[in-house]
């Protein structure tokens, strides 16, 4: 209980770079932590004191202006890495979107351990490069796309991303039916638009027969080609 042996993400997280003995060592410096939806883990601007791996659940990374406008700058899923190693400052807040479990390390402990384990750093580098690419691609959406394009892109992105978590179906490729893990407000915070704009775009997609929205949180894509055309 609570050891790496039984860890759900043992084979996908950066720990997969380590052999049995090394995992023991890492296990010794980390500990599990449970978060309820809404719980904060890291505050923007604070000293960077901890890093973590997501075991279960989803968390958001946010930046805010002084007057309270918030932007979700990233969402992390199981096996993803959280925090800022090798740096003094946390540049964004991290908050649980759902109930979640994470495996946390004091940053100084982790930094030391990483320095001794190049394979771990290599995994972390690959992940960070991928995340940087993903983030940069998202900038195009935030800066240049219309609300319609944003919502269409978001839905396609979710449809592709949520595949991993549904191991029930043997079929691969993007899902045409899924549950949104976000509220309308959170979708707005991700896309950089207001909740009303998200709502209007969703309604319009439904009216035009591109989607069906059986419940608030569920989406069924009826016309994927149309949705892709709208995504710009």
Partner DNA sequence: CGCCTAATTGATTCTTATCAATATTCGTGG
Partner DNA sequence: CCACGAATATTGATAAGAATCAATTAGGCG
Q: Of a second copy, DNA, none, which one does residue 120 interact with (CB within 5 to 8 Å by kind)?
A: none
Number of residues forming the site for a second copy (CB under 8 A): 43
What stretches of the chain show up as alpha helix (H) in DSSP?
Answer: 20-29, 107-115, 118-144, 147-161, 184-191, 195-207, 224-230
C-beta of residue 222 within 8 angstroms of C-beta of residue 169: no
Q: Of DNA, a second copy, none, which one does residue 125 interact with (CB within 5 to 8 Å by kind)?
A: a second copy
Please select the residue that binds a second copy; options are 71, 165, 183, 199, rule is CB under 8 A: 71
Shortest Å, Cβ 119 to a second copy: 9
Q: How many CA atoms lie within 13 A of 142 on its CB side?
A: 16
Please select the residue that binds DNA; options are 12, 127, 200, 224, rule is CB under 7 A: 200
3-state secondary structure of 28: helix
Q: Rule CB under 8 A: which of 191-230 touch a second copy?
A: 191-192
CA dihedral 169, 172, 178, 183 (to 10 degrees): 130
Shortest Å, Cβ 230 to DNA: 12
C-beta of residue 97 within 8 angstroms of C-beta of residue 181: yes
Closer residue to a second copy (CB): 122 or 220: 122
Task: Look at the alpha carbons of 185, 188, 193, 198 in this order and tell me if their dihedral is positive or negative.
Answer: negative
Q: Rule CB under 8 A: which of 134-193 touch a second copy?
A: 135-140, 142-145, 191-192
Please select the residue that binds a second copy; options are 16, 91, 183, 186, rule is CB under 8 A: 91
């Amino acid at each position: 209980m609570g050891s790496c042996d039984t860890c759900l993400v043992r084979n996908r997280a950066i720990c997969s770079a380590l052999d049995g003995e090394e995992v023991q060592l890492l296990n010794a410096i980390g500990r599990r932590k449970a978060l309820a939806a809404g719980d904060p883990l890291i505050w923007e601007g604070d000293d960077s004191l901890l890093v973590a791996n997501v075991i279960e659940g989803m968390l958001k990374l946010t930046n805010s202006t002084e007057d309270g406008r918030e932007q979700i700058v990233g969402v992390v899923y199981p096996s993803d890495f959280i925090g800022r190693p090798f740096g003094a400052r946390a540049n964004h807040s991290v908050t649980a979107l759902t109930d979640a479990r994470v495996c946390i390390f004091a940053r100084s402990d982790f930094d030391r351990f990483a320095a001794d384990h190049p394979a771990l750093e290599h995994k972390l580098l690959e992940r960070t490069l991928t995340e940087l690419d993903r983030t940069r691609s998202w900038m195009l959406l935030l800066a240049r796309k219309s609300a319609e394009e944003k919502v269409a892109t978001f839905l396609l992105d979710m449809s592709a991303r949520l595949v991993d978590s549904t191991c029930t179906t043997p079929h691969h490729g993007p899902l045409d039916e899924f549950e949104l893990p976000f509220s309308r407000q959170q979708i707005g915070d991700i896309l950089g638009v207001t909740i009303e704009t998200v709502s209007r775009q969703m309604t319009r997609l439904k009216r035009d027969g591109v989607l069906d929205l059986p419940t608030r949180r569920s989406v069924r894509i009826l016309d994927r080609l149309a949705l892709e055309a709208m995504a710009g």
